[in-house]
Amino acid sequence: MKFGGSSVESAAAIERVAEIVRQRAPGPVVVVVSAIGKTTNRLLELAREAANGQRQSALVKLDDLRAQHFDIADHFGATHLIDQPFAELAEIVRGLAVLGELTPRSLDAVASYGERLSSVIVAQALGARHADARDYLVTDERHTQAAPLYEATYSRLSELPKAEVTVMGGFIGATAAGVTSTLGRGGSDFTASIVGAGLKASEIQIWTDVDGMLTADPRVFSGGHRVKTISFAEAAELAYFGAKVLHPSTVLPAMEKGIPVSILNSRRPEVEGTRIVAHAVPCRNAVKSIACKTNITLVNIASTRMLMAHGFLRRIFEVFDRYETPVDMLATSEVSVSLTIDTVTHLPAIVREIEEIADVTVETAQAIVSLVGENIRHTPGVAARLFTALGPINVRMISQGASRMNLSLVVAESDLRKAVESLHAEFFRELDPEVFA
């Protein structure tokens, strides 16, 4: 059972978590928790301030964080358990201020305290056994974006002492040498899936602050319906293309082990949520959900100098690979390539290199809209319905995934809301009651 930051943001929220665990745990259960509220963001901010020489400002922010955690911990008689971690944090902040440097390894060390603190408090609130995730989740050495070493992790998890309730922090792990690492943002979901797979759990529950996966991104369109059941493949596509309710990597370990995943609302535990299962369920609708990704940059690459030349695409993608910049969508023709990225840190350097062999134009403030559903591959006329629904909205790029369950397009961010409203009205006029609530 994984509980996100909003589910443990206060003493009252943690009381709700305790009640859910007491009522819903069918037997031995592992509870994975995120950091309290926005703690991780605040930790990273104060670490950067310290490294930039703003020692006093960083220590003031740390005191504010300490006061918040002590206020919650005091409610459960756990203040004595978090004194030492905050003393360690203060020493790290002073050290960063002296060094004037913030390495990825240092960032991981600081960021890890969010989950280390919250898991200790929640364990005390539940009267449960606390397990340090760093003793069980083994990762490689790519700090801030570490990947789990599954064989070693599953071996360690098999040694986890049996307890009625065990609490551990998500997001954090350690290298084989024992150095603290993190899985990247949203990694607590990933932790829950890894732990569930390693323990051969009967179910993995992701408790968040929404009722489950919806037919449209609620940040863009508020009229969506709850999806009761969805396949692993569909959920993974939605997560990758912007469904914030689930981290993109979450379903992979669960999918490999065939363990169902449920998305549930800790504020409304009576709602059935969304159940993610191995195989597609029959559905009369072509589309299961519409996902969105904003802050997208569209890069158009056109070449006449290397028209039809062998190695043109390889040279382009070698540049993106060298700058560790992932590509979301891709469309090609004989003379041009259009692609989207959501990380622009190295874009000026990428453009300079590609301009040696091609003309490059860049369009910012774009958005990806993805229609996802197993039935898209079997239903004729989906693209025609899409363009009819969009009407005058200009589509900058369109691509159908190799799985054929994802039809994605790029529009200007200013057109995003209208595009999602129009597409939702078209594809969810009637709902299959077996699949949608």
- Written in H, E and C, the secondary structure of the chain is CEECHHHHCCHHHHHHHHHHHHHHCCCCEEEEECCCCCHHHHHHHHHHHHHCCCHHHHHHHHHHHHHHHHHHHHHCCCHHHHHHHHHHHHHHHHHHHHHCCCCHHHHHHHHCHHHHHHHHHHHHHHCCEECCHHHCCEECCCCCCCCECHHHHHHHHCCCCCCCEEEEECCEEEECCCCEEECCCCHHHHHHHHHHHHCCCCCEEEEECCCCCECECCCCCCCCCEECEEEHHHHHHHHHCCCCCCCCCCHHHHHHHCCCEEEEECCCCCCCCEEEECCCCCCCCCCCEEEEEEEEEEEEEECCCCCCCCCHHHHHHHHHHHCCCCCCCEEECCCEEEEEECCCCCHHHHHHHHCCCCEEEEEEEEEEEEEECHHHHHCCCHHHHHHHHHCCCCCCEEEECCCCCEEEEEEEHHHHHHHHHHHHHHHCCCCCCCCEC
Residue 436 within any structural domain of the chain: no
Q: Pseudo-torsion of CA 36, 38, 42, 43, nearest 10°?
A: 40
- Supply the range of the domain harboring residue 414: 289-427
Confidence bin at 210 (pLDDT 50/70/90)? confident
Q: Does residue 189 share a domain with residue 55?
A: yes
pLDDT in the model for residue 278: 86
Instruction: Give the residue-averaged pLDDT of 209-229.
Output: 91
What is the percent of the chain where pLDDT is above 70?
97
pLDDT in the model for residue 107: 95
Residue pLDDT, tens place only, 43-62: 999 999 999 999 999 999 99
Residue 277 within any structural domain of the chain: no
pLDDT in the model for residue 121: 98
Indicate whether 415 pLDDT > 90: yes
Q: How many domains would you assign to the chain?
A: 2
Confidence bin at 400 (pLDDT 50/70/90)? confident
Q: Does residue 197 share a domain with residue 345?
A: no
Q: Does residue 138 share a domain with residue 18?
A: yes
Which of 118-127, 232-241, 259-268 shows the lowest mean pLDDT across its residues? Answer: 232-241
Q: Does residue 170 share a domain with residue 309?
A: no
pLDDT in the model for residue 227: 96
- Domain stop point among 177, 209, 241: 209
215 with 420: CB under 8 angstroms? no
Q: Does residue 162 share a domain with residue 74?
A: yes
pLDDT in the model for residue 229: 94
Q: Does residue 315 share a domain with residue 170?
A: no
Neighbours of 287 (CB within 10 A): 26
Q: Does residue 194 share a domain with residue 58?
A: yes
Residue 79's domain is classified under what CATH number?
3.40.1160.10
Residue pLDDT, tens place only, 80-97: 999 999 999 999 999 999
Residue pLDDT, tens place only, 352-383: 999 988 999 999 999 999 999 999 988 899 99
Confidence bin at 314 (pLDDT 50/70/90)? confident
Q: How far is CA 429 from the centre of its chain?
A: 30
Residue 247 within any structural domain of the chain: no
Residue 13, sorted as left (phi over 0), alpha (psi -120 to 50) or beta, turns out to be alpha
- Domain stop point among 161, 187, 209: 209
Q: Of residues 228 and 242, which shows the higher confidence score? A: 228
Q: Does residue 8 share a domain with residue 142?
A: yes
What's this model's pTM, rounded to 2 decimal places?
A: 0.85
Instruction: Give the residue-averaged pLDDT of 254-261.
Output: 91
387 with 327: CB under 8 angstroms? no
Residue 239 within any structural domain of the chain: no
Q: Does residue 302 share a domain with residue 201?
A: no
Neighbours of 293 (CB within 10 A): 22
Q: Does residue 297 share a domain with residue 192?
A: no
pLDDT in the model for residue 307: 55
Indicate whether 403 pLDDT > 80: no
Q: Does residue 164 share a domain with residue 41?
A: yes
Which of 45-49, 130-134, 185-189 shows the lowest mean pLDDT across its residues? Answer: 185-189
- Domain stop point among 188, 209, 230: 209
Confidence bin at 275 (pLDDT 50/70/90)? very high
Indicate whether 328 pLDDT > 60: yes
Residue 392 within any structural domain of the chain: yes
pLDDT in the model for residue 102: 93
Residue pLDDT, tens place only, 155-168: 999 999 989 999 99
What is the percent of the chain where pLDDT is above 90?
80
Residue 295 within any structural domain of the chain: yes
pLDDT in the model for residue 177: 96
Instruction: Give the residue-averaged pLDDT of 414-422.
Output: 97
Residue 189 within any structural domain of the chain: yes
Residue 88 within any structural domain of the chain: yes
Residue 354's domain is classified under what CATH number?
3.30.2130.10
249 with 190: CB under 8 angstroms? yes
Confidence bin at 306 (pLDDT 50/70/90)? low
Q: Does residue 131 share a domain with residue 8?
A: yes
Residues 368 and 350: their CA atoms lie apart, in Å, by: 21
362 with 350: CB under 8 angstroms? no
